[in-house]
Amino acid sequence: MSTFERQLPLLSTLACVWCLGFFYLLDRVLFASSHFSPIFQFLLTVYDTQTAWAAVAVCMLALLWRRPAPADRVVHLFARHPAMVSAAWILPLALAAVFVYRAYPLCMDEYAAVFQARVFAAGQLTARLPTGLLDWFVLPGFNGAFLVASPVTGQVIEGYWPGFSLLLAPFQWLGVPWLCNPVISAVALWLMVRITVELSGDRLAGGWALLFAIGSGAFFVDGISFYSMQAHMTANLLFAWLLFSPTPARALAAGLVGSIALVLHNPFPHALFATPWLLGMLADPVQRRRLAWVVLGYLPVVLVVGGGWLWLRTGLSQAAHPGASAESLVQGVFGWPTADILNMRSAALAKLWVWAVPGLPVFAALGARRHWADRRVRLFVASAILTFAAYLFVSMDQGHGWGYRYFHSAWGVLPILAGCALARRKSGTPSWAAFAGTVALLSLLLIVPLQLHQIDGFMVRHLQQLPAPRRPGNNVYFIDWRDGFYSADMVQFDPLLRDADLLLARRGDALDAALIRRNWPQARRIAAGYWGEQWYLGPRDLRVPSAAAAGAAALQVSPP
């Protein structure tokens, strides 16, 4: 056993201590010169700091315990039944999606995808609202970013590319949109096992990869949210696996999967992950002939879905923002690394660490080292490094999100390579392997429940900013999106206006009152606060859609 292997438990523990110290400095020193978004700062200094304490405690317990038997039994079970375990994991994810995440799109990134999925599930391409009401439904600062609404036609679509919404649409049509990411997560687990076994030649290594994945909070929580990141990771893993032995059929399928990945949310995550694999094919005289099949696989979805959506979005964007240009958008997102960006990525690295099994990146590094002769391992490492490094040129800190979501499209590389590190062990169990198994089990049993508890508390506090709707009947909320804790993210509506209540952006007492009087003259205000106002429309179900549609006339006259 090498010196590096012997020091793995200590290195893992010290890295957790470093994360804790970094979060401590962020709260007291580093924010003075940074430009972190408030939610990124809050999650780092509150929830992630608590998780770092838990990670340190788990590492200390593992240093004292170091008994391989419990983890070995779990790994053997996983290795014997990988497909069954992967499918069974849908159940805890689905339960957490409903009872922890409340089946609710928490932030605008999630809501945009759910919004468009509801449109697709209804058999439509765009939502259509009365043009005079757009500013109540879509905040001006969000128009063009999360949703794109035309003030000319009243058409509304999501601001991102529609691939994930298309995946979500069948689940939305069935009334179980919260089940989409748990199902995708099960596919990801199966792919991790399959890839690990093929790379290592050891079935038990696949069981280890499975344990490392389900023991990591980033994998679990992205699997219960409405973020597209789990789909990005799964598509990238499938893309790479298909290129392990690129026959014409597999190369064509890889291109098709890659094209779906390109239009999932935005093309950047897949483009970064796929670049080493495509360059590797180009450099290999044998595989170069298969590259044309990959390109052919990309074309239909990219041209039809990507090109068509870009054309539609551009038309609506020009109507909403006549002077906007793609160049100004790129300049606002990308830039050279600065001290603030380096600070953001240091924080992201700490988030990546505490939202995974403690030590997982180090275990993955050992796996890469042991299997470096395998070209496929080198390509996985290149994809992960390129994905992380590219965001050094992105000027945003990710804002909301659990774990480091900018890296999540390549996150699957970590449990795969960590599993490879434990492949084909000789007789006896090295102390670092016993440590790895113990921290993985303790992370699953202690850290992941802590993170779910944190999210549950966050969701409760967020949703409790608004008073409960009065029943029977309907309610209209005017949300003061300039106050409260991310109250702007609560301005959400069904694209076909089928919800029992309306959550609208507050535009001022006069305009809001005029809208109420024109459409619901019998309504009365029953609550008000820093968050805005709540109006009760009465015990009779008025079916808000028709009343809301009539509201366009109310805005054609000057309010009193």
Q: Is 375 contained in some domain?
A: yes
**Residue 221 belongs to some domain of the structure:** yes
Tokens of 542: 């008025």
Please report, in angstroms and rounded to a whole number, the separation of the first and last CA atoms in the chain: 81
Are 318 and 422 contained in the same domain?
A: yes
| Structure-token pair, residue 475 | 């309610």
* Residue that is last in its domain, among 459, 486, 502: 459
465 within domain boundaries: no
Q: Are residue 217 and residue 348 in the same domain, yes or no?
A: yes
Tokens coding 316: 């609506």
Within 10 angstroms of residue 92's Cβ, the number of other Cβ atoms is 16
Residues 394, 479 within the same domain: no
Residue 250 lies in a domain: yes
The set of residues, in sequence order, having a beta carbon less than 8 Å from that of 48 and lying 6+ positions away, is: 19, 23, 350, 351, 354, 355
Tell me which residue has tokens 């001290």. 339
467 belongs to a structural domain? no
State the Cα–Cα distance between residues 62 and 51, nearest whole angstrom: 16
Tell me the β-bridge partners of 476.
502, 535
Given 434, 459, 484, which residue is the final one in a domain? 459
Per-residue pLDDT of the chain (560 residues; tens, 9 = 90+): 677 788 889 999 999 999 999 988 887 776 655 678 889 989 999 999 999 999 999 999 999 887 888 899 999 999 999 999 999 999 999 999 999 999 999 999 999 999 999 999 999 999 999 888 999 999 988 999 999 999 999 999 999 999 999 999 999 999 999 999 999 999 999 999 999 999 999 999 999 999 999 999 999 999 999 999 999 999 999 999 999 999 999 999 999 999 999 999 999 999 999 999 999 999 998 899 999 999 999 999 999 999 999 999 999 988 767 665 555 555 568 888 888 889 899 999 999 999 999 999 999 999 999 999 999 999 999 999 999 999 999 988 899 999 999 999 999 999 999 999 998 765 555 778 899 999 999 999 999 999 999 999 999 999 999 999 999 999 999 999 988 889 999 999 999 998 999 999 999 999 999 999 998 999 999 999 999 999 999 988 775 544 444 433 333 323 33
Judge if 84 and 116 occupy the same domain.
no
241 and 118 fall within a common domain: no
Taking Cα atoms as reference points, which of 265, 230, 151 lies closest to residue 402?
A: 230
Residue 454 shares a structural domain with residue 543: no
Q: Is residue 267 part of a domain?
A: yes
Q: Are residues 492 and 408 in the same domain?
A: no
CA distance 133 to 515: 9
127 strand-pairing partners:
156
Whether 172 and 208 share a structural domain: no
Chain-centre distance for alpha carbon 180: 13
Which helix (DSSP H) or strand (DSSP E) does residue 524 occupy?
strand 524-529
d(CA 446, CA 62) in angstroms, rounded, equals 13
Residue with tokens 């429309």: 537
DSSP symbol at 394: B
Pick from 146, 177, 208: which residue ends a domain? Answer: 177
Residues 172 and 190 placed together within one structural domain of the fold: no
In a domain, 469, yes or no: no
441/534 same-domain check: no
The set of residues, in sequence order, having a beta carbon less than 8 Å from that of 327 and lying 6+ positions away, is none
Task: Verify that 309 and 168 share a domain, yes or no.
Answer: no
Give the total number of structural domains in the chain: 3
The per-residue pLDDT for 548 is 42
In a domain, 468, yes or no: no
Give the domain range for residue 201: 3-99+178-459
Q: Quick one: 165 and 144 in the same domain?
A: yes
